[in-house]
C-alpha cells in the first residue's frame, strides 16, 4: 500500500528531496569544500534520475487514467486515497497482465509498442510488490550481460542478466539434452507449476521471481530453460 501512495504523491516527495539536497549544500558551506562541486555532483545526478523516473511514472499514470483512476482527486483527498488503494492494486495488476501479453509475442506488435510495454512493466515491478503472471514464458525479455556464468553447477548455470532492458537480475539456465521441441515444451509446463509457487514466495533473503522461458541454443535442435 505504501508503494501506491508514493506513486500518487511522487511529485511532492521529489520536491522534498530537492529541499533536503539544498540543506545539505548549505551544510557543506560550513566546511572547507567547494559547494559548486557538491552541487554539480549530487544535484546533477539527482536531476538525471528524477527526469527518468518521472517519465516512467508519468507513462504509468497515463495507463491508470485510462482506467478512470483520477490522480488529482486522490492527491487532494488522503482519505479517499486510502480507500481506493485496493482499486489501484487491481488496476495495476490489469495493466501488468495486458502488457505481459505483448511481451509474450513480439512478432505480432510494433517495436515501439513492445518497448513501451517493457518500460511500463519494469516501472510497475519497481514501485509495487506485484508480480508478472507466472504463466509468462520469458525469452528475449531477459538478456545475458556476458556469456560467462557467475556460478556453474551440474544441472544449471547462473548468469548476470538485464530484465526488460534495465533491471539487473540473476538468470538460471537449465539445458535440456533433448532436441524434440514438443518434449521440451512439456518439460517447461512442469516448470511452470514450480514457477507458480515460487512467484508468490517473499523473503528479504531471496530475489523476487520474474518468470521462466525457453530458448534455443547450439542452433535450433537444442533448447534451454
Asked if residue 8 has pLDDT above 70, the reply is: no
CATH architecture label of 135-224: 2-Layer Sandwich (3.30)
Mean pLDDT of 14-24: 57
Report residue 31 as a C-alpha cell.
566546511
Question: Do residues 173 and 157 lie in contact, with contact meaning Cβ atoms separated by under 8 Å?
Answer: yes
What percent of the chain has pLDDT above 70? 45
Question: Do residues 167 and 126 lie in contact, with contact meaning Cβ atoms separated by under 8 Å?
Answer: yes
Question: Do residues 209 and 135 lie in contact, with contact meaning Cβ atoms separated by under 8 Å?
Answer: no
SS3 assignment, position 224 = strand
pLDDT in tens, 127-173: 777 777 655 555 567 788 888 889 888 778 888 888 876 778 888 88
What percent of the chain has pLDDT above 90? 0
pLDDT in tens, 62-90: 766 676 666 665 555 655 555 566 667 77
Instruction: Kindly report, as residue ranges, where domains of CATH 3.30.200 are found in the chain.
Output: 135-224
Cell 489501484 -> residue:
88
Q: 132 exposed, middle or buried (CB, 10 Å; 0-12, 13-18, 19+)?
A: buried
Cell 559547494 -> residue:
35
Amino acid at each position: 500500500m505504501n508503494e501506491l501512495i508514493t506513486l500518487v504523491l511522487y511529485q511532492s516527495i521529489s520536491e522534498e528531496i530537492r529541499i533536503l539536497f539544498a540543506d545539505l549544500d548549505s551544510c557543506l558551506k560550513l566546511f572547507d569544500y567547494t559547494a559548486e562541486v557538491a552541487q554539480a555532483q549530487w544535484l546533477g545526478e539527482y536531476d538525471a534520475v528524477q527526469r527518468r523516473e518521472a517519465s516512467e511514472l508519468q507513462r504509468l499514470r497515463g495507463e491508470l487514467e485510462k482506467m478512470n483512476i483520477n490522480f488529482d482527486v486522490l492527491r487532494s483527498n488522503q482519505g479517499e486515497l486510502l480507500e481506493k488503494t485496493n482499486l489501484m492494486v487491481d488496476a495495476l495488476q490489469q495493466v501488468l497482465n495486458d502488457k505481459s501479453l505483448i511481451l509474450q509475442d513480439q512478432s505480432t506488435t510494433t517495436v515501439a509498442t513492445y518497448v513501451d510495454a517493457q518500460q511500463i512493466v519494469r516501472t510497475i515491478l519497481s514501485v509495487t510488490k506485484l508480480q508478472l503472471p507466472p504463466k509468462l514464458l520469458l525469452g528475449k525479455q531477459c538478456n545475458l550481460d556476458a556469456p560467462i556464468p557467475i556460478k556453474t553447477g551440474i544441472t544449471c548455470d547462473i548468469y548476470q542478466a538485464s530484465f526488460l532492458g534495465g533491471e539487473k537480475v540473476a538468470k538460471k539456465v537449465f539445458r535440456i539434452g533433448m532436441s524434440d521441441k514438443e518434449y521440451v515444451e512439456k518439460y517447461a509446463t512442469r516448470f511452470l507449476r514450480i514457477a507458480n509457487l515460487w512467484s508468490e514466495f517473499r523473503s528479504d533473503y531471496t530475489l523476487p521471481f520474474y518468470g521462466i522461458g525457453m530458448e534455443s541454443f547450439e542452433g535450433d535442435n537444442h533448447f534451454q530453460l
